[in-house]
Amino acid sequence: MKAFFVTGTDTGVGKTFVTSAIAAYCSLDAHLDVGVMKPFETGLPEGGRSCGDALLLKEASGSRDALPVIRPFAFSAPLAPETASAMEHVEIDVAAVTAAFGRLAESHDLLFVEGAGGILVPIRKGFFFIDLVKEWKIPVVVVSRLGLGTINHTLLTCRYLTREGVAVAGVVLNDTDGLTDPAKGHNAEMLSRYLDVPLLGVFPHHGRPAGRQDLARLAGQYLDMKPFLA
């Protein structure tokens, strides 16, 4: 079983884009059977369960798994899973999610699991994404913004994961806004100096990729893909 968990330093840092690009490259260029999972997705519109991040991951990876398998829990409110599930009167069954993860991992060469927000977002009372990762014993990829503030957020996230005994496969910096920011020219070098984990690459600001081929090309061009293919 080979799997990676993709977390962010915050919400809106581009986790889905980065995960999609890596999954597309591993599927198309490395010719692997790639599975994806978004265990908990929130912020889906009413009646919109056939859209969202899980669908983007499915399309990018070429996975044939059904959306309810990829995304066991879906909620309308754009809130942490603990809060969204309480509002919708849904009991989150972590054991069922773990069982679904195991089935997906066994049926693919490589599995990418995307979280929601950061590693300390609560899934249910007293149970956070960090607890899920520790239970599953899989390495983490950290996606962070390229601009001002990323040094603190990235180092905090990586050092916390390491302190908790979680392996960090690496960090991806993503230019989410394309705005001029003097920090963007220095942050990659600064983080390389202080990180104890690999900096896998920097994604420049981009328009929406047209499809799997574009995503795979971007991953191959800007990221070190060796950790996923070793």
- Domains located in the chain, CATH noted: 3-229 (3.40.50.300)
Q: Which strand ranges, in their side-by-side order, compose the sheet holding 140-145?
A: 34-37, 110-118, 3-8, 140-145, 168-174, 199-203
Note whether 5 and 104 are within 8 A (CB).
no
In the predicted structure, residue 196 carries a pLDDT above the cut 70: yes
Is pLDDT larger for residue 225 or for residue 48? 225
pLDDT (0 to 100) of residue 91? 97
Average pLDDT of the chain, as a whole number: 95
Say which of 2, 15, 38, 134 is annotated catalytic: 38
pLDDT (0 to 100) of residue 69? 95
pLDDT (0 to 100) of residue 72? 96
| Residue 58 annotated in active site | no
pTM of the model: 0.96
What CA–CA distance (Å, rounded) separates 105 from 120?
23
pLDDT, one tens digit per residue, over 85-133 is 999 999 999 999 999 999 999 999 999 999 999 999 999 999 999 999 9
Tokens of 70: 């990829």
In the predicted structure, residue 47 carries a pLDDT above the cut 70: no
Q: What are phi and psi of 206, to 5 degrees?
A: -145, 155
pLDDT, one tens digit per residue, over 55-77 is 999 999 999 999 999 999 999 99
